[in-house]
Amino acid sequence: MARRSRSNPLALAILCLLQERERHPYDLVATLKNRHKHESIRLNYGSVYSVVDRLEADGLIEAVRSEQDGNRPPRTVYGLTESGKDELVDWLSTLLSTPRREYTHFTAALSLLPSLPPADAVALLRTRLAAIERQLAEDDAGEEFAGRELGLPRLFLIEAHYEHALRRTERDFVAALIDDIEHKDMEGIGLWTHFHESGFSVPPNALPPTNGVWRELDESVRERTGNRPGDDRFRGASSTQPLATPT
């Protein structure tokens, strides 16, 4: 049997809700909203019905009865199948135990950072840093309210604590990156500056050849004890200092 797609966490959330008790799709939507699952899972509540159909087609859930409230249309109530119970445990276990590369927008922006002038990058990073600080303050207030006023145990706030920890780490990283750029304490800062001041021209041999360079780096990173040749070529260089003569 072909392996089922596990690309949509909403499907896993539905399996978990049906583990608690049998539900109809409207109950699933209402429970997801009430539990604020949109803060940890990208939700399109209208898609709950199509996900339910997909789970039923895959044999992970099944219709167990139909309910009708007054003159309203009947609602189909679903429950987990044995295959659904197994899939829930295996899927959730995999997510918890196996790190997975997340292709975030910020990671993409950092990989393309040299396309902006250093001064512009610093200004934008400062804007981001201020936004992170505001979010951290909101996190603190929200966690205090949830714990003290609502009496929610930590078990039901784990994802919020994790997001808060990630934001603190990002704040520290962004602050350090700003400092490194401003004080020119970063390998390649001179090349970065030259790149924009010269109209996007790069000195010959200033960059390592792209053909196979990352493969070679992967192969050598376990063995090397010092810097790669050329790593310090533009270290600390400023617009008033000549770039090292390419070799």
The per-residue pLDDT for range 43-73, each reduced to its tens digit, is 887 899 999 999 999 999 999 999 988 888 8
51-72 exposure pattern, b = at least 16 Cβ within 10 A, e = fewer: bbebbbeeebbeeeeeeeeeee
**Which segments in the chain show pLDDT lower than 70?**
1-3, 145-149, 202-247
Same-domain status, 34 and 67: yes
How confident is the model at residue 7, as a pLDDT?
87
Q: Contact at 8 Å (CB) between 68 and 74?
A: yes
Same-domain status, 125 and 171: yes
User: Residue 152 falls within a domain, yes or no?
Assistant: yes
How confident is the model at residue 142, as a pLDDT?
77
Is 192 buried (19+), middle (13-18) or exposed (0-12) by CB count in 10 A?
buried
How confident is the model at residue 26, as a pLDDT?
93
How confident is the model at residue 126, as a pLDDT?
99
How confident is the model at residue 200, as a pLDDT?
77
Out of 183, 210, 231, pick the residue that ends a domain: 183
Same-domain status, 93 and 13: yes
Structural domain containing residue 19: 9-97
What is the spatial distance between Cα 91 and Cα 11, in angstroms, rounded to a whole number? 10
How confident is the model at residue 234, as a pLDDT?
37
pTM for the complete prediction?
0.74
Same-domain status, 146 and 76: no
User: Residue 77 falls within a domain, yes or no?
Assistant: yes
Domain count, the chain: 2
Same-domain status, 38 and 75: yes
Question: What residues contact residue 241 under an 8 Å CB cut-off, 6+ apart?
Answer: 190
User: Residue 199 falls within a domain, yes or no?
Assistant: no
